[in-house]
């Protein structure tokens, strides 16, 4: 059993099972999730006997830095982490005016098959445990000696395909005895697993929901995102509207712009029609090319013109600011280079 994979309630029952007093659970949880201490012997308010029991009973789910790339143009850093079973995942540190943020992976690889994404090329190896989601944040916070203010679950993997571990991750990282990051500062990006959007609303997970939309008609979206055939656009938008009602959070629709494919005035009309009753926001992202997909990003002029058309049609829109341009391999590309 991995001690850093346990919620506060699970630590209480596990610690009682090995005969330690219940109050130790809070202490241990704080050491691991607030002080980010991995070494039991440095947990100074525990007795030598209790440390011995803990060492004997629980493993620590370790990840380690395999490679780190640092941008020369801003503070962005890309990390490749090695997991206990030698799998490799990637995470990104981003510095904004409003604070420091990390983008983490939720699975090793991905099964969803989106055609523009390098993360899915080798399929899904496995889901990441909650402890492996947490450790990406903790390792970066410690490595950079900073305080992480927000987390985006938008790296490799489909987070809602790893729902239980995502839920556990959120409960631990928002705990007041942990990093105590507000739910408002956590964003989860999905290609649109409709039933899990309803579950997240019922479970009151309260994160910001981002949808990889990328096309405003069923026909075009099917070409980019195979999962769209199982989760039709109409059902997806209904689920997102429900999420907004339940959580009070405006949904963000991510829209990768592909030259000549989804950047025309017809696409503006389709987007307007699709989102006409939704309290939402559209985030435009110029395509980051991968060799296996032949599309390219539109020109800056075309991106600007698409943006203006959306705004003119009263759709709340932004263009994603590109950070770490010099190390900004498309999501999953860096990992792929190291697992081949």
Residues in contact with ligand SF4 by CB under 6 A are 110, 112-114, 117, 119-120, 156-158, 191, 212
List, in order, residues 6 or more apart from 117 with CB less than 8 Å away.
110, 290, 330, 331, 332
Q: How far apart are CA 225 and CA 298, in angstroms?
A: 20
Nearest by Cα to 152 from 74, 79, 69, 91: 91
Select 144 or 330, whichever has its Cβ closest to ligand SF4: 330
Q: Which is nearer to ligand SF4, 12 or 102 (CB)?
A: 102
In the complex with ligand SF4, which residue's Cβ is closer, 135 or 161? 161
Q: What is residue 292's three-state secondary structure?
A: coil
Annotated catalytic residue 280? no
Place of tokens 């099917």: 222
Q: Among the options 103, 191, 280, 331, which is catalytic?
A: 331
Shortest separation between residue 3's beta carbon and ligand SF4, angstroms? 29
Between CA 138 and CA 132 the distance in angstroms is 10
CB of 90 to ligand SF4, least distance (A): 11
Distance CA 124, CA 156 (A): 10
Least Å distance between CB 178 and ligand SF4? Answer: 26
d(CA 332, CA 118): 5
Q: Name the residue among 138, 190, 105, 150 with its Cα closest to residue 4.
A: 138
Catalytic, 90? Answer yes
Contact call for residues 218 and 225 (beta carbons, < 8 A): no
Nearest to 65 by CA among 88, 98, 42, 45: 88
Nearer to ligand SF4, 158 or 263 (CB): 158
CB of 191 to ligand SF4, least distance (A): 4
Annotated catalytic residue, options 16, 82, 90, 191: 90
**Minimum CB distance to ligand SF4 smaller for 23 or for 338:** 338
* Catalytic residue set: 90, 331
């Amino acid at each position: 059993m991995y001690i850093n994979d346990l919620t506060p309630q699970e630590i209480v029952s596990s610690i009682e099972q090995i005969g330690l007093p219940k109050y130790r659970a809070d202490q241990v949880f704080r050491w691991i999730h607030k002080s980010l201490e991995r070494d039991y012997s440095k947990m100074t308010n525990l007795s030598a006997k209790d440390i011995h029991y803990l060492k004997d009973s629980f493993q620590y789910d370790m990840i380690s830095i395999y490679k780190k790339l640092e941008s020369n143009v801003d503070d962005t850093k890309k990390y490749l982490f090695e997991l206990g079973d030698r799998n490799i995942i990637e995470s990104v540190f981003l510095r904004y005016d409003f604070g420091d943020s990390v983008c983490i992976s939720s699975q090793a690889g991905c099964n969803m098959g989106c055609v523009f994404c390098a993360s899915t090329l080798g399929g899904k190896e496995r889901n990441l445990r909650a402890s492996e989601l947490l450790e990406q944040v903790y390792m970066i916070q410690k490595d950079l000696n900073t305080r992480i203010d927000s987390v985006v679950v938008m790296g490799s993997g489909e987070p809602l395909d790893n729902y239980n571990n995502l839920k556990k991750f959120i409960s631990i990282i928002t705990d007041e005895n942990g990093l105590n990051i507000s739910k408002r500062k956590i964003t989860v990006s999905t290609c649109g697993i409709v039933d899990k959007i309803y579950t997240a609303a019922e479970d009151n997970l309260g994160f910001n929901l981002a949808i990889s939309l990328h096309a405003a008609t069923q026909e075009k979206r099917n070409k980019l995102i195979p999962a769209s055939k199982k989760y039709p656009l109409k059902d997806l938008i209904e689920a997102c509207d429900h999420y907004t009602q339940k959580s009070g959070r405006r949904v963000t629709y991510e829209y990768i712009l592909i030259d000549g494919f989804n950047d025309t005035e017809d696409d503006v009309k389709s987007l307007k029609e699709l989102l006409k009753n939704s309290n939402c926001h559209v985030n435009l992202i110029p395509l980051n090319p991968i060799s296996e997909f032949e599309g390219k990003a539109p020109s800056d002029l075309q991106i600007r013109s698409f943006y203006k058309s959306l705004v003119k049609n009263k759709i709340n829109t932004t263009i994603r600011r590109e950070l770490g341009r010099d190390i900004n391999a498309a999501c999953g590309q860096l990992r792929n280079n190291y697992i081949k």
